[in-house]
Structure 1
């Protein structure tokens, strides 16, 4: 693999890691910074949120109702063209219902579709997460 290719894969992975880390901290600004302006969130049980304005409304609501203590594992990083790539990850840990303080185990799988911006930064164009059930 060429050095440029390895640097691209590292930058692609870094975007997903930045998102997963910011999400676990409930850092809305840092989560939004990983998205392209027209980014889309497809989350369990919710309609798609399209664009940073909608995303800026959705994430505070998520973090207000649920606390997350998750660990992630990057499973796959693939650059599919000069300006498109995907990252597949798995996350597990606990979720705390903030209304009831009930802590439950949880596991998710995620797929990030990233697009390289005109400025050369990899950004999340589409993000899909699905809950695969409580961990045991």
Structure 2
């Protein structure tokens, strides 16, 4: 008798799971009904990320907006002030960049070679604790190698790990990025 009951549970459970997935997937998401919010001229927040109720959300979004503004202006000091004192940068197709001086040198080498005109959308923002959060972004814009001066459309996805430091501000502790399409030669 007990085996028969277990057998029925194993037959019914997958159907219930499939039904609940179908029912959830066919209901409109409240996040998708919200208009996208603009944080700055360079950053907006996706419908899904707007649903985040992270207590530090506005300050975290502001850090990301400041980063893309500094990146687009080639502002070395503006970028570096947004990092923690122990940053790690994970650039695509290159070794990991560890420490403030190494990150500085990375941007010192990048800015003379490339001009950015990127617009980013925060796709996901999760505050994991009072001091830690991550932000996933998708960016699109123009990537211009200074050697050729020929700008080309490009897209990237990025992952930021932020830490709230003793000054009460959110800073970039770890940053990883990767193009989602071929980049022009530079």
TM-score relative to the length of structure 1: 0.89
Give the Cα separation in 2 of the matches to 1:47 and 1:132: 19
- Bigger mean CA offset, 66-75 vs 33-42: 66-75
| 8 A Cα contact 1:83 1:115, kept in partner | yes
Q: Is the Cα contact below 8 Å between 2:118 and 2:141 reproduced in 1?
A: yes
- Unaligned stretches of 5+ residues in structure 1: none
- TM-score w.r.t. length of structure 2: 0.66
Q: Which has the higher contact order (CA 8 A, sep 6+)?
A: 1
Contact kept? 1:26, 1:63, Cα under 8 Å: yes
CA RMSD of aligned residues (A): 1.6
| Runs of 4+, deviation exceeding 4 Å | none
Cα pair 2:121 2:137 within 8 Å, conserved: yes
| Per-residue CA distance 1:43-70 (angstroms, 9 max, x = gap) | 1122111111111111021111111111
Larger-Rg structure: 2
Q: Distance in 1 between matches of 2:98 and 2:182?
A: 28
Higher strand share: 1
Whether 1:88 aligns to 2:136 is yes
List gaps (5 residues or longer) in structure 2.
Answer: 1-52
Count of residues paired in the alignment = 131
